[in-house]
Amino acid sequence: MKIALDGPAGAGKSTLAKALAKRCGYTYINTGALYRAFTLKTLNEALDIDDEDVLRKALDEVRMEIEGDNVYLDGNNVKDQIYTPFIDQNISKIASNPTIRQYMSALQKKMADETENVIMEGRDIATVVMPEADIKFFITATVEERARRRMKQNEEKNIFHTYEDTLKDILYRDERDTKRKFAPLMMTKDSIVIDNTGKTLEETIEEMIWIMQKKK
């Protein structure tokens, strides 16, 4: 079974996707990690992505792999370097570039095709990467709850930002994710909306498993 999991930043997609994959024995693929890894590359190498030749060369040469939580960029595990406010602040430019999106969706489609039972998380999984998915979950929560969760996640990594700054960052990314010209974040007609505001992880997982069982 192929499961698409889309939704805005901080909605709890990764936590849910990981827990679901573990419970059901599915492969978990986090496509945001690929956008993050490529953002890291452009920053580390000071690449000018507005220069189409520079960008094409970087995309031709880059190697990106995902294995559970581990993300490999040109052979190095970068999972501890890609979840930082600095990457958050620079990623929208990467994610709104049509050449990069085209490359990413082709790579992600290939990953999905090669995996029998997959839970793929992102923003355009149901609309672009796996429109044929058996279930399309759209995970959401209020913006205030998402900001609180993101703040807690950052604090666990010793990154301390105020609630106001975190909220501003989430609102900024919502705006960029939903309004961008290419593959904006949106629901499909057959998306199943899971609003997990005020719900525990276990409650939401149960709800999703129930939907999956009905589909089998």
Rounded Cα distance between 178 and 167, Å, is 16
CB of 213 vs ligand DC, minimal distance in Å? 26
Q: What is the DSSP string of 105-158?
A: HHHHHHHHHT-SSEEEEESSIIIII-TT-SEEEEEE--HHHHHHHHHHHHHHTT
CB of 216 vs ligand DC, minimal distance in Å? 26
Is the CB of 193 or the CB of 206 nearer to ligand DC? 193
Give the closest residue to 137 by CA, choosing from 25, 212, 213, 197: 212
Residues that bind ligand DC (CB under 6 A): 9, 31-32, 35-36, 91, 95, 122-124, 173, 177
CB of 123 vs ligand DC, minimal distance in Å? 4
Is the CB of 113 or the CB of 206 nearer to ligand DC? 113
End-to-end CA distance of the chain: 8
CB of 200 vs ligand DC, minimal distance in Å? 21
Is the CB of 96 or the CB of 199 nearer to ligand DC? 96
Rounded Cα distance between 152 and 150, Å, is 5
Is the CB of 79 or the CB of 123 nearer to ligand DC? 123
